[in-house]
Structure formats: structure tokens, C-alpha cells
Structure 1
Amino acid sequence: MTRPGGTVITPAVLREWPLPGVEGGKESHGRALVVGGSVQNPGALILAAEASLRAGAGKSQVVAPDPVAVPIGVAVPEALVQGGPVAGSGDLAPGASGFVAELCPEAEAVLIGPGLLDPAGAADLVAACVPHVSSVLVLDALGLAWVTPDPSRVRDFAGRCVLSPNLAELALVLGEDADAVEADQAGATLRLAAATGAVVTSGGTTTWIATPEGALWRAEDGGPGLGVSGSGDVKAGIVLGLCARGADPAQAAVWGAYLHGAIGGRLASRYGPYGYLSRELPAEIPQALLEVAR
């Protein structure tokens, strides 16, 4: 059993912690940069990029493997998509860091990890890119492979980093038994936040969010339908978009966890608890944001 504790995230909690406004033109809403993907899995970038825009980012930019850059640009016509070199695994290669360096200075938040398939290559890609990130850094999926050998690596991003592991990734980065982590998700999330100096938002039936200082929240509205391929990419994209528009990492993670569950609930009421697709999630984000504001 996951231990009790933490603040339950409700609309009332969120209304007392309002997001930065999105008045003005697109330049005032912030730029979100998504880095990663593979020839085999370009959809993760599409989901994350669209979610960032639906969450309020003014612009979305993507660095993807060159063979899939044009299809991604067609799928998300609002985004600027830069094709980069491809590793033997099909992943975006570390040589793409030059394009990341060009785009990072104008990005308010950078997400690295969606769609990568090779852990070793993912760690090399993150290592090549992070020196160029001077804004908020969000690491998701195999982007966390860079953190696993040495969680203290993220401390250079203290106050401007969000880690978004699922339960298996949470156990792997901590070097702990997966069953033990699942039994105490709150404690594991707090331990990773303390070890890295980053905000951590874990994935499971209950989502736990922890800060390095020991603050803890939980979101319980996800439902089983969110346990589907691509769902985590949407969640990471929401967090990215909220950071891009000016939310601090903890606020973005807390709001992101609630919104992810809320949009799952909206689709479950329409289709049933299972069977809706991750591609259907991003379009629900604006309405879920509006409902919190009511």
C-alpha cells in the first residue's frame, strides 16, 4: 500500500495557486522545446509538442531525427521542427545538440526524452544537450537514463528542473527494488527529489509530486485508461507548456498531474474507462483548464 500523506490536488487547491496568465501575443506565452524521438517512435514528440501548446505555450519547437521531421511538422503544423542526425538505433543522435544550442536561448522550457528507445544513446544525447539549457529542464522517459548513474548531475538545475519517471523508471534511477518502490511511491518520490534537487512527478494510479524540500502532493483522478502508450508523453508536454508560460517547476508538476487526470476522466466519461487513445488527450486540456478557473 502507498503510504498516506501529501496534499490532495483539487480545483480548490489549484485556484489558490493560479497559473501565470497568457495575455498578449504568442511571444509573451513562452517557447517550449521538445528534444528526442526516434525513427520508430515519432509520435511521442507529436503528443508532447501538441500538449505543450494546449497547455498555453505560445510556441513549440521540436528537434527530431531527420527522416521523421517533416511528418512531425505536418502533424503539428503550429510547431517549428528541426531535423537532426540519426543514431544507429534510430534515435536522435547526440550530434543534434548543435541545433539544441541554437534554439535553447529563446526557450523558456526544454523537454528531453520522449520517443527515445536506446538507454545508452539517450544518456549521451542528454549529456550533449544539457550544457546548452539555461531555462527549465524537464526530463522524461529515457531522458532519465542520464540521471541514473549519478542523480546529483541534476543539481546544477536546482530550482528549474522536473523529472517525470514512471514507476519502473523511478525504481531504476533510485537503484531500488521495483516492488518496494511500488509499495511506497510517496517515499520513493521524496527520496529522488532529495537526491537530485529536482521536482519529481511520478507515474502510477496515483501521481505523487515531491520537491527537494519535502513538500508532497498527490493526484488521484487518473483512472486506468491513462495507462496507455503515449499518455506519459502528454503529461510531460503539459508540464513543459506550463513551465514555458511561466509556472515554476513545482506548480507546473502539480497542475500537470491534475490536468492529466482530469482529461483522462473527461474521455473516460465519453468512451468508458478503457480504450481512449493518447492522441485524444491534448484536445481536452483547454477545457480542463477552464473548468478549474470556474
Structure 2
Amino acid sequence: MRDLTPVLLRDWALPSAGDSKYSRGDVLVVGGAAKTPGAALLAGLAALRVGAGRLTLAVAEQAAVPMAVATPEAGVVGLPQTARGSVRGDDLGALEDDLGSAGVVVLGPGLDDPDHTRDLVRTALPLVSDEAWLLLDAYALGVLPDLRDDVAPFAGRLVLTPNSTEAGRLLGRDLEDAESDVPEIARTFGAVVSCQGLVADPDGGRWRTGAGQIGLATSGSGDVLAGAIAGLLARGTEPAQAVCWASHVHAAAGDRLAAAVGRLGFLASELLAELPRVLVELGA
């Protein structure tokens, strides 16, 4: 187990981001039910804050226009929804081109129905480019045990960001010892996993961040982490490095806010502005 310290990260420098938005890659975030579009928004903005070049958000059609107005930096696609506002998973025709062209695809933030999420992930996966990175978060993790065969082709280019409850679902039991359980998830799914301040890859690599405050346990914080990982992947960073850097930067952003606001009470949206500041401090 290696500790993620500023010294380690400076010695493990991020690749050059280049001087064009095209050289910094594109991220597609698919999520955002009508009642929870903010989760997709937080993930998308976090990707931009760490340097991704382009962003597309795919959310329930009811939320699409307000999302486009709130996020002029992003392209926005409206997806068919149920009467209750959940994103339907059986019709991704409007998203087919974006799924095929995005360098990083994030599935899950803000989805709110397990059955429709299962359909969405199963429908989306065959449309994702063979060269794209795939990140599963939130409800997409909850249905992953039912989709092992579907996700198997993504082994080696898959990232999972479970909380402790979601990690338990992936294990089929409660999370008991994170230092052994998180690597088990990584091996099982052929993925790089970030959970509870720990990072593990399927080849046995293990890292632990020493930063972070209890205030990070707040609504939307995980969406920010998922987006930060996606943004670094879009810039050309290899998965284990991207997850390690993003996990530390996310936690260090929480430390900065804990000092300025208090250990509790800062908002996930406030983490966004801190992400590039922490990157600058690390020389990235």
C-alpha cells in the first residue's frame, strides 16, 4: 500500500494537456433524472475543472433545456424519460453518435431507477468506442452485478467509484475490510477502483490518500470525484494514475474547504473551484 502524497504525485507527473481543447479529450456524462440532474452537472463540471477539453451531458429531456442554459460550456442531449422523470434505458438513439465518439463515458450520476438504469447500461455499452474509457458510478454500480458479461469487454479500461454501500453490492456482502475488499473488486471486474480513500487496480497496485475530511461525505461529492477522474482520463492519463491523482485532488480540495468553512457544511459544488487550485499546487 502506497500513500498518495504530494511528493509521490509530483514524481508521477500527469501527461501534458496540450494547448487545444481537442488535445484534452472529450467526456460524455450520462445520467441526470428529472429530479436529480445536478449529479450529472457536478460530474461534468469537475471534468472540465481538471482540464478536459469538451463535455457533453445527457440527461432526462425535462432537464435538458435548463441544463443547457446553466452549463453553456457543455453540449446537452435530452433523453426519453418516464412519467416520473427517470431516464429510460431502452432508447438511446439520440446519443448513439456521442457514445461512439467520446473518449471517456461516465454512466450513472443522477440516475434513479434500477430497472431503467440496468437497461440503459446494457443498451449503451455496445455503442461505446473500443478505445474509450468507461466509468461507472452511482446507480450504474448498483446494477453492475447483473451485467458482468456485458461489461467484461471493458476490463482494463474500466473505472468504478463505489461508496461503501455500492462496494458491498459489488462484493455480494457487506464491505468489511476495505484494504482487502477494494482490491477484490478491482480483480473481479478488471477495473481501477476508488473507494473510501483507497485506490486499487486489477494488477495488485494499491494506494491510500492521506487527505480528506468528514465533510466530503456530502451529497454530490462522489459525482465530483467521478468527474475529476473522467477529466484526467480525457487528458490522456492512464487509469490508475488518473484515479490516484483525482482521489487525492478531491480529498485535498475537501481539506482546503474544511479550513475555510469548517469540517462540516461545505457543499460539493464548492469543491469544483478548488480542484484546479490543488492541481496548481501539485505542479500539474
TM-score by length of 2: 0.95
Q: Secondary structure at the match of 1:293?
A: coil
Shift of 1:155: 2.6
- More divergent stretch after superposition (20-29 vs 165-174): 20-29
Question: 1:42 and 2:32 equivalent?
Answer: no
Return the alpha-carbon distance in structure 2 between the equivalents of residues 236 and 88 of structure 1. 28
Determine the structure 1 residue equivalent to 2:181.
Answer: 188
Question: 1:210 and 2:203 equivalent?
Answer: no
Determine the structure 2 residue equivalent to 1:220.
Answer: 210
Determine the structure 2 residue equivalent to 1:199.
Answer: 192
- Aligned positions, number: 282
In the TM superposition, what whole-angstrom CA distance separates every residue of 1:8-46 from its partner, at most 9, and x where no partner exists? 101111112211212221111100100011011011011
Instruction: Give the aligned residue type for 2:184.
Output: R
Tell me if the contact between 1:137 and 1:162 (Cα under 8 Å) persists in the aligned partners.
Answer: yes
Determine the structure 1 residue equivalent to 2:140.
Answer: 143
Shift of 1:149: 2.4
Return the alpha-carbon distance in structure 1 between the equivalents of residues 239 and 91 of structure 2. 26
Instruction: Give the aligned residue type for 1:7.
Output: R
In the TM superposition, what whole-angstrom CA distance separates every residue of 1:122-172 from its partner, at most 9, and x where no partner exists? 111111101111200000000113312254543311221101100000001
Tell me if the contact between 1:35 and 1:114 (Cα under 8 Å) persists in the aligned partners.
Answer: yes
Determine the structure 2 residue equivalent to 1:3.
Answer: none
Q: 1:244 aligns with which of 234, 239, 242?
A: 234
- More divergent stretch after superposition (157-166 vs 86-95): 86-95
Q: 2:257 aligns with which of 263, 267, 274?
A: 267
Determine the structure 1 residue equivalent to 2:161.
Answer: 164
Tell me if the contact between 1:46 and 1:75 (Cα under 8 Å) persists in the aligned partners.
Answer: no
Tell me if the contact between 2:122 and 2:147 (Cα under 8 Å) persists in the aligned partners.
Answer: no
Determine the structure 2 residue equivalent to 1:63.
Answer: 58
Shift of 1:89: 4.3
Shift of 1:215: 0.8
Return the alpha-carbon distance in structure 1 between the equivalents of residues 148 and 186 of structure 2. 9
Q: 1:235 aligns with which of 222, 225, 229?
A: 225
Tell me if the contact between 1:36 and 1:91 (Cα under 8 Å) persists in the aligned partners.
Answer: no
| Cα 1:137/1:187, change in 2 over 3 Å | same
Return the alpha-carbon distance in structure 2 between the equivalents of residues 10 and 153 of structure 1. 36
Shift of 1:293: 1.1
Percent identical among aligned pairs is 42
Q: Secondary structure at the match of 2:134?
A: strand
Question: 1:15 and 2:5 equivalent?
Answer: no
Instruction: Give the aligned residue type for 2:19.
Output: G
Return the alpha-carbon distance in structure 2 between the equivalents of residues 222 and 235 of structure 1. 12
TM-score by length of 1: 0.92
Return the alpha-carbon distance in structure 2 between the equivalents of residues 162 and 108 of structure 1. 13
Return the alpha-carbon distance in structure 1 between the equivalents of residues 148 and 193 of structure 2. 12
Q: Secondary structure at the match of 2:22?
A: helix
In the TM superposition, what whole-angstrom CA distance separates every residue of 1:216-269 from its partner, at most 9, and x where no partner exists? 011131110000000000000000111111111111111110011011011111
Tell me if the contact between 2:144 and 2:170 (Cα under 8 Å) persists in the aligned partners.
Answer: yes
Return the alpha-carbon distance in structure 1 between the equivalents of residues 147 and 69 of structure 2. 38
Q: Any stretches of 5+ residues in structure 2 without a counterpart?
A: none
Return the alpha-carbon distance in structure 2 between the equivalents of residues 88 and 97 of structure 1. 17
Q: Any stretches of 5+ residues in structure 1 without a counterpart?
A: 1-5
Return the alpha-carbon distance in structure 2 between the equivalents of residues 287 and 110 of structure 1. 25
Shift of 1:99: 2.8
